[in-house]
A and B are shown apart, each in its own frame.
Chain A
Amino acid sequence: MFSMSDETNPLMMLVWILPIILFVFYGQHIQLLVTSGEIKKGIKKLDGFRTNSKKELIDYVQKSTSSNDDPTKKIEQFLDYFTIMPVDMDPNGIVDKVRHTVRSREEYTRNHVKSISPELSEIEISRIQTLLEIASSLQMIYKIVNHMFLTAKKQKNYPLILPVQMILPFLMEHATAMNAAIPAFKLGQPLGDGIGPMVVGKMMLNSEKEIISFQTSLAKVEYENRKLFLLKAEGPGSTVGRPDDALQKIVDNDKIDAVIMVDAALKMEGEDSASVARGFGAAIGGIGTEKFQIEHITTQNRIPIFSIVVKQSVKEAITLMTKEIADQADNVRSQVYEMILENTTEGQSVVVIGVGNTAGVPQ
């Protein structure tokens, strides 16, 4: 038997043929097993994140209140709260409906957080609200990924697991960033996303401020014979304010000649972090309702919108501000003043909006 050549050796033939048969009939199962291993690791990590975020939230609430009542039950109830977005089959009026739904949810969350303890300050309420959003989002990501994985496994359906495998690295990036953001929110430190409020907040220092719309601060200052309306979310609590409502109120009372928005923007792969770019159009993220409203107001009143953005990654945007981003604040501020001089003449009025979460950034 061993004297035969490789081509005719039956043992060697089996060595070749068996794996082929195995892969033809069980290829998908083998792929499912390999992919499952990777996804399981991701799910374990996501489970760790959601447990950690819940623990950190409960710890923060307990430290912020002197009450001996355990807030765990109230918080757990709230983590599973969901939002049903309005029907978009007929898109007419959808923005108002989305805004109403989102604001109702925010209002409910705020009232729910206030009900935990009457001694909580507005800043603590805003921090708890943000931590609650993080914990709730991490819980939702974990549940969705776990559901898709278990469904694919239960039905032994390999193609069903492919979308999970493809989307998992992006979800992990977001989840890791949210988990890493928790300490910064708890300590009230400025985030990468806070560069806009930081730039405008410094411009507002030593001037009279007023609350123009919900959690939004306005200061009116003079610069080179131009009237500046400086807007940012009211810091140092964790909020993004309502710049769209504020802009509407300003435009109702004054003639505005330009709007300048300062915000953080997601950098593309290969781009330098903390690089500054100028452009046109409303630089504001979120669900889209505020952007819509700002664009609507400026279009109706024929006001040009200029924007300055500081590029950063998802993680940099929601965690403690990096040195590179913080170092750009003075540069961005001087670019804002430059932009005002370039695009307006004496006697004109400009609205400068510092967009982003103002955690740790007062005015």
Chain B
Amino acid sequence: MRYSTMFVISGATALLAAGLVMPGWLTFLLTLALAKGLVVMGLLLLMRAGMVSFGQGLYYCLGAYCVGIGGDYFETQNALVLILLAVLVCGALAAVIGLLLCRYRDIFFAMFSMAFSMILYGVLIKSSSFGSSDGFNVKPPLLFGWTPGGESGPLLAYGLAVVAVTAVGIFAWHYLRSPMGYAGEAVRENEIRVEYLGISVARVIYIKYLLAASMAGLGGAITALAAGHIDPEMAYWTTSGEFVFIALMGGTGHVAGPVLGSVLFELIRTYAFQISPYTWQMILGIALLAIILYLPKGVWSLVERVTKRTAV
């Protein structure tokens, strides 16, 4: 096992152990941030190929609703089964609309993906059996019959989030260093030359899209399990915009960027909301502008500047 992998796994173990002593609000905040980090990590894969999706909320919301609806329909509270269901459903949907979406670039890709997420929003907001705009509550998760009682309830979702982020992060890191991953970078630079080299651009992007959708579904599923409540707002365009925001904030230079970005985002939002409830959006907006102007490679570039590591 490589040195860096061991470093990451020991870091994840430390995070898991810290969960036992952290105050409840911090556990909850970190769980949500990590879940969002998963979605943004998927977005990172797309952005590496120069595609910015303004519609990842589609899979984020779909994953969450899979957990909610699947839990009722199959009468299970098994967290792993529900998460698997969410990832499979999101992957299946992405496999279908990905065929269409992957032909689009730039702003058209952004707008088309947004249209799909707004379609889901439009359907959910009018479906009274799923609680319309109020959404509905999700039963607390179990793990193979293990019932975490009271205090350990949020801990299960937290543990799942840490494990998922670690596993997906390691996978994404290796994926980006594979020929397929490098092909993505090449697609961003010049598609036609990539085709000349004998690589199918459509395939490169399609696979990235599938991966991104599955990650978003995973993030949505964990969010549903952690928050215990889901609503159509998860598919609204502002949610998708938030993911792009986080991706830019964290930086797309490294797979850890999205995780760092989403933790920072949640912290800024929580504190800004507490300090001044009427101007928290303004604080976020100013932070975004400052990052675009002064840190175009995101907050992670600061970390890299300190450690002097090469980017992946």
User: Does B bind A?
Assistant: no
